[in-house]
Chain A
Amino acid sequence: ETGVTQSPTHLIKTRGQQVTLRCSSQSGHNTVSWYQQALGQGPQFIFQYYREEENGRGNFPPRFSGLQFPNYSSELNVNALELDDSALYLCASSPHLAGGDEQYFGPGTRLTVT
């Protein structure tokens, strides 16, 4: 078990709605990354936050947005939900931005869009 927690565990939303997912990073970690994992696929990088600033973004539209707070916890917001947004959303924290660190993953939030 890592020290990364995510809430909620499961979520069901309707197409067009908005959703907020939350992540608490492991103590001492100032970098949080978010990933989307569709069924049967590997995780896809959404974006990363380092000390409250976005530090890179994957190939996701602007309706995917995020925040990182002074305590380094983070939120992922998705607007105008589409059916294809149904996936497992994973957050991962790491101690600092320098390359070469493993990432510590939370258990994920399973989002279903109907």
Chain B
Amino acid sequence: SQQGEEDPQALSIQEGENATMNCSYKTSINNLQWYRQNSGRGLVHLILIRSNEREKHSGRLRVTLDTSKKSSSLLITASRAADTASYFCATDHDYKLSFGAGTTVTVRA
């Protein structure tokens, strides 16, 4: 079973716009991580936020975590065509990662 659920399932935006996706989870976590996957290939780690953190930035990425609501959001600012990919949240509990089904983001030129 999958711990996390991303919302929306799919997102289409114009180049230069921001993209926001959300993740909800069910159990307590050590940290929450976001990964990107291009065309069914390996996953690339984007950002990790620990359970005692509320917000984290990395370049054009901004992640928030609300442990009281068991939810997280990923914001990609000033999107580019190269950001077209599937994005997954993964909760780290007892050293194992549990992934959601992902959000597919398409950035139109």
**1/0 contact trace for A90-102 toward B, CB 8 Å?**
1010000111101
Contact A100 B30 (CB under 8 A): yes
User: Which DSSP category, helix, strand, loop or mixed, fits chain A's interface?
Assistant: loop
Total chain B interface residues with beta-carbon distance under 8 A:
27
Is residue B41 within 8 Å, beta carbon to beta carbon, of the partner chain?
yes
**B30 (CB) vs chain A CBs: closest residue:** A99
**1/0 contact trace for B39-65 toward A, CB 8 Å?**
011111100101000000000000000
User: Which DSSP category, helix, strand, loop or mixed, fits chain B's interface?
Assistant: strand
Number of residue pairs spanning A and B whose beta carbons lie under 8 angstroms apart: 73
A52 to chain B, nearest CB (A): 16
Kindly specify which of B12-20, B66-74, B75-83, B92-100 makes contact with the partner chain.
B92-100
Contact A40 B95 (CB under 8 A): no
Q: Which residues of chain A come closer than 8 Å to B27, judged between CB atoms?
A: none
Contact B45 A103 (CB under 8 A): yes
A103 to chain B, nearest CB (A): 6
Residues of A within 8 A of B (CB): 2, 4, 33, 35, 39-45, 48, 55-56, 58-59, 88, 90, 92, 97-100, 102-108, 110
Residues of B within 8 A of A (CB): 1-2, 4, 30-31, 33, 35, 40-45, 48, 50, 88, 90, 92, 94-102
